[in-house]
Chain A
């Protein structure tokens, strides 16, 4: 019925009967309503649609809860506060905050815990794994960019400025795995933030400084391996046979 409108819609007013018989007012109104009700995609969505070659995927990306303006602003505020605090005290707060923030963002990107239309989303042509992947990458990328900017602004050493990208990957992967396994975004946030906090505290306990979790180069490979494992878990958790009975 998309192109061939079903004539007079249910509940059309009787006044339409006074129109000439060969003029389809239902069709006219559908044409008017189509322009009045449509949502104009912004330039971000249009660009994403072209890059991803799928307007549906672009719309899903733009609707990500953790890419909403409010969330981004909150992230910026926390990072800015961290940068300011770093300038004041010297402790690289940005490097410590950024992985946790990113992990929370990734956990809140997709999943039954935060997507009420979860069941419906699994029946559509744009696959939910694609949506998850695109959203997680977008959130990760955005957080990385914001964190880098904040880190550079806070004048931290280069090693610290980039060093937290690897732990951030691991923290995000952990959040993703937990969220998809438990079908809950909150579990994902808790796992990601807690896991990162444990790493930081362990670094302090064993090597004497909070930033050990970030700067210790021996941890790079374990972090990456861990991230890969978590991604595999997330892949497994989102296989199609997963369904709440």
Chain B
């Protein structure tokens, strides 16, 4: 049964469907949350997320994007938890904010980091062309000529891959936001 069907069953009060949803989605949700939260908080957020799913499954409109909907709920629950416990719970030791721009809301910063990590994953596995270009050009901040030499491709290819990467990232981030908005 696909995810949309499962959510519909959960809305109808079927707890075995919730169990199946949990076994399918909790692992990757946990991994994504773990990027910004310590393990104990991840467990609490996951628990609240799936309880929210149990109670609010009726509000899901079947559109094949159950994963995005779930992540939206998890994100909301994480924000709630962080606001309750204070932003110190979110910042992992050793993380440095590149650019040192003071975020107005540390909670949002932490969650934005998780969103970005997810969107970068949409570029493909590590080593894929767009992802490599992203890493070298934007994360490591190298000039185009150097990236072209490292990858062994002409600079024009580097620029077009970078363009594709930016487009995909934009779409992924937008899709994440849309999923959250579409679930009321």
Given A32-B18, A36-B18, are A13 and B23 neighbors across the interface (CB < 8 Å)? Answer: yes
In the complex, the chain B residue whose C-beta lies closest to that of A16 is B27
Number of chain A interface residues as a range = 20 to 34
Q: By DSSP majority rule, is chain A's interface helix, strand, loop, or mixed?
A: helix
The answer to whether B18 and A19 touch across the interface, beta carbons within 8 angstroms, is no
On whether A32 and B39 interact (CB within 8 A), knowing A19-B30, A20-B31, the answer reads no
Q: Which residue of B lies closest to A35 (CB)?
A: B51
A23 close to B23 (CB less than 8 A):
no
Would B51 and A32 count as touching, CB distance under 8 A? yes
Contact B31–A32 (Cβ < 8 Å): no
Q: Across the interface, which residues of B come within 8 angstroms of A19, CB to CB?
A: 26-28, 30-31
A18-B28 contact, Cβ under 8 Å, with A32-B50, A32-B54: yes
Report A-chain residues with C-beta under 8 Å of the C-beta of B18: 32, 36
1/0 contact trace for B113-127 toward A, CB 8 Å? Answer: 000000000000000
A15 proximal to B (CB < 8 A): yes
Q: Taking the complex as formed, is A27 at the interface, i.e. its CB lies under 8 A from any CB of chain B?
A: yes
In the bound complex, CA of A29 to CA of B15 (Å): 12
Q: Is B22 an interface residue (CB 8 A)?
A: yes
Chain B residues lying within 8 Å of A22, measured Cβ to Cβ, are 34, 39
Asked if B39 and A23 sit within 8 Å, CB to CB, the answer is: yes
- Give bound CA distance, A31 to B40, whole Å: 13
* Chain A residue at minimal CB-CB distance from B23: A13
Q: Tell me if B's interface is mostly helix, strand, loop or mixed.
A: helix
Q: Is A25 an interface residue (CB 8 A)?
A: yes
Q: Give the contacts of A1-47 with B (CB-CB under 8 A).
A: 12-13, 15-20, 22-25, 27-29, 31-33, 35-37
Report chain A residues within 8 Å CB of B22: 29, 32
Residues in A neighbouring B42, C-beta threshold 8 A: 20, 23
Give the CA-CA distance A16 to B46 in the complex, in Å.
Answer: 13
Total inter-chain residue pairs, C-beta < 8 Å: 63
CB of A30 to closest CB in B, whole Å: 9
Assess A23 versus B43: contact at CB under 8 Å? Given A32-B54, A36-B15, A36-B18.
Answer: yes
Residues of B within 8 A of A17 (CB): 27
Decide if B183 is an interface residue (CB 8 Å cutoff): no
Complex interface: chain B residues within 8 A of A24 (CB): 39, 43
Q: Bound complex: CA of A106 vs CA of B130, how far in Å?
A: 78
Given A28-B43, A32-B18, A23 and B50 contact (CB-CB distance below 8 Å): no
Of the residues A12, A15, A18, A20, contact of B39 by C-beta under 8 Å: A20
Task: Tell me which of B24, B26, B51, B54 has the highest count of chain A C-beta atoms within 10 A of its own C-beta.
Answer: B26
The answer to whether B24 touches A23, judged by C-beta atoms less than 8 angstroms apart, is no
Tell me if A25 and B26 are in contact (CB < 8 A): yes
Q: Is there an interface contact between B50 and A18, defined as CB atoms closer than 8 Å?
A: no
Closest residue of B by beta carbon distance from A31: B47
Question: Which of B19, B30, B31 gathers most chain A CB within 10 Å?
Answer: B30
Say yes or no: A37 contacts B27, CB within 8 Å: no
Inter-chain contact B43/A15, CB cutoff 8 Å = no
Bound Cα distance from A136 to B67, whole angstroms: 54
A22 to B38, CA, bound (A): 9
With A19-B26, A25-B26, A28-B26 already in contact, the answer to whether A36 and B43 are too (CB < 8 A) is: no
Contact A16 B51 (CB under 8 A): no
> Once the chains bind, are B30 and A37 in contact (CB under 8 Å)?
no
| Residues in B whose Cβ lies below 8 Å from that of A16 | 23, 26-27
Q: Tell me, rounded to whole Å, the shortest Cβ–Cβ distance linking B49 to chain A.
A: 9
Question: Which chain A residue has the least Cβ–Cβ distance from B26?
Answer: A25
Pick the 5 closest A-B CB pairs, nearest first: A19-B27, A22-B39, A13-B23, A31-B47, A20-B34
